Amino acid sequence: MPELYFFEDLSVGLTAKFSKTITEADIVLFAAVTGDTNPMHLDAEYAATTIFKERIAHGMLAAGLITKVLGTQLPGPGTIYMSQSLKFRAPVKIGETVTATVEVMALHPDKHRATLRTVCTVKGEPVLEGEAYVSVPSRASQARAAAAE
């Protein structure tokens, strides 16, 4: 897979994936960075009293894996995130491996933008689903930037 897809390289159906096992450290660091210290994520005693019966990862921690795919794989460096919808389907537990998948659904050539299906799964089952809208660098814009240097 190339380091960067220009808009002209994209086609409907093109996909990329990234997988990561969620650790205790990931949850603690995410809480520290965001300030989201909901005991559902950090306190085992509290979490045991909830419908999940154990601590779960922040939903946005799993969603954050989508940005890894967008910014480094598909479309890649230079991609500008414009919007994202999300539907949370199931919790992610410590030790589970989340796979973020991005798929090109539609291309908007007039503005070099793309609509992407975004899904995170655990053991093949969706834990979140959504849609991203991004701006993608074009070859022409890259050539203009290089000429200006």
The answer to whether position 28 is within a domain reads yes
10-52 pLDDT per residue, tens: 999 999 999 999 999 999 999 999 999 999 999 999 999 999 9
Looking at residues 83-102, what average pLDDT do you find? 97
Looking at residues 89-101, what average pLDDT do you find? 97
**Share above pLDDT 90 across residues of the chain, in percent, rounded to a whole number:** 89
Contact 136, 112 (CB under 8 A): yes
Name the domain count of the chain. 1
Q: What are phi and psi of 25, to 5 degrees?
A: -60, -40
pLDDT of residue 144: 56
The answer to whether position 127 is within a domain reads yes
The answer to whether position 109 is within a domain reads yes
Of the pLDDT bands very low, low, confident and very high (cuts 50, 70, 90), residue 149 is low
Does 141 or 55 have the greater pLDDT score?
Answer: 55
The answer to whether position 2 is within a domain reads no
The answer to whether position 1 is within a domain reads no
pLDDT of residue 140: 75
pLDDT of residue 3: 65
Domain harbouring 48, CATH code:
3.10.129.10
User: What are the residues facing 23 on neighbouring strands?
Assistant: none
| CB-based burial, 14-44: b 16+ in 10 Å, e otherwise | bebebebebeeebbeebbeeeebeeebbbee
pLDDT of residue 147: 56
The answer to whether position 113 is within a domain reads yes
Contact 138, 52 (CB under 8 A): no
The answer to whether position 96 is within a domain reads yes
State yes or no: pLDDT of 146 exceeds 70: no
In Å, how far are 65, 76, 113, 115, 149 from 16, measured between CA atoms? 12, 10, 17, 14, 32
> What is the residue range of 107's domain?
7-148
Contact 111, 136 (CB under 8 A): no
The answer to whether position 100 is within a domain reads yes
